[in-house]
């Protein structure tokens, strides 16, 4: 199954793999060696922590490399701004409060609400997909239903 990614998302994964291999892994090998030098490994918390960290690093490398192998990089320059789709930035107005919001629709791997990137499969992402400027979309949340008007759709290259 292919994983949709922007070029920036793919590049971030690639950078993380490089950091894990070139920085984190070597630092952790040193930590394991130093902990080993402290003697009895059966009661050595530093050694256990370093070995656990080694497992995390190797697992994360494997996970990222697998996702990168399955990546389908979407060329944002080919996107149209007539409908909300993967890679577009949707500008919204909350119909109840009048607050303006903007979110870029991305895949699960790139979602980060702190920087305004939401997953296509999030409740808001699902509600926005395939809608166009002027549409009112209803988003059902656990607390209530929220209505947004789409005021602009753009692509940030």
Show which of 55, 73, 91 is a domain's final residue.
73
> Can you give the CATH number for the domain in which 28 is found?
1.10.287.180
Q: Are residues 85 and 151 in the same domain?
A: yes
b/e for 117-126, b at 16 or more Cβ within 10 A? bbbbebebbb
pLDDT for 84 equals 95
Residue 88 CA to residue 98 CA, distance in Å, equals 22
pLDDT tens column, 80-125: 889 999 999 999 999 999 999 999 999 999 999 999 999 999 999 9
pTM of the predicted structure, to 2 decimals? 0.80
- 153 closest CA partner among 90, 106, 86: 90
Q: Are residues 95 and 126 in the same domain?
A: yes
Burial label, 51 (beta-carbon count in 10 A; 0-12, 13-18, 19+): middle
Residue 25 has pLDDT above 90, yes or no: yes
Which range among 7-16, 41-50, 54-63 shows the weakest confidence by mean pLDDT?
A: 41-50
**In the chain, what is the greatest distance between 2 CA atoms, to the nearest angstrom?**
69
Is 80 exceeded by the pLDDT of residue 12? yes
pLDDT tens-place string over residues 131-144: 999 999 999 888 88
In the predicted structure, residue 36 carries a pLDDT above the cut 90 = no
Domain that holds residue 27: 3-73
Q: How far apart are CA 37 and CA 17, in angstroms?
A: 29
* Exposed/middle/buried for residue 4 (C-beta within 10 Å: 0-12, 13-18, 19+): middle
**Residues 87 and 43 placed together within one structural domain of the fold:** no
What pLDDT score was predicted for residue 157?
Answer: 59
Residue by residue, DSSP assigns 41-89 as: GGG-HHHHHHHHHHHHHHHHHHHHHHHHHTEEE--GGG--SSS--TTEE
Mean pLDDT of the chain: 92
Q: Are residues 24 and 57 in the same domain?
A: yes
Last residue of a domain, one of 20, 39, 73: 73
Which tokens in the block code for residue 144? 């209530």
For residue 149, the domain's CATH number is 3.10.50.30
The total number of structural domains that make up the chain: 2
State the Cα–Cα distance between residues 43 and 23, nearest whole angstrom.
27
Q: Which of 7-16, 74-83, 143-152 has the lowest mean pLDDT?
A: 74-83
Whether residue 145 sits in one domain with residue 93:
yes
């Amino acid at each position: 199954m292919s994983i949709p990614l922007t070029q920036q998302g793919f590049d971030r994964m690639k950078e993380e793999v490089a950091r894990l291999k070139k920085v984190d892994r070597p630092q952790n090998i040193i930590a394991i060696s130093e902990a080993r030098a402290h003697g009895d490994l059966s009661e050595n918390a530093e050694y256990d922590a370093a070995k656990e960290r080694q497992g995390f690093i190797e697992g994360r490398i494997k996970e990222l490399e697998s996702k990168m192998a399955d990546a389908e990089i979407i060329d944002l320059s080919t996107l149209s701004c007539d409908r909300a789709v993967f890679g577009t930035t949707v500008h919204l107005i909350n119909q109840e409060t009048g607050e303006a919001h903007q979110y870029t629709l991305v895949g699960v791997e790139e979602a980060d609400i702190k920087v305004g990137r939401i997953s296509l499969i999030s409740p808001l992402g699902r509600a926005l997909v395939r809608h166009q400027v002027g549409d009112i979309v209803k988003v059902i949340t656990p607390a209530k239903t929220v209505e947004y008007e789409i005021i602009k759709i753009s692509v940030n290259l």
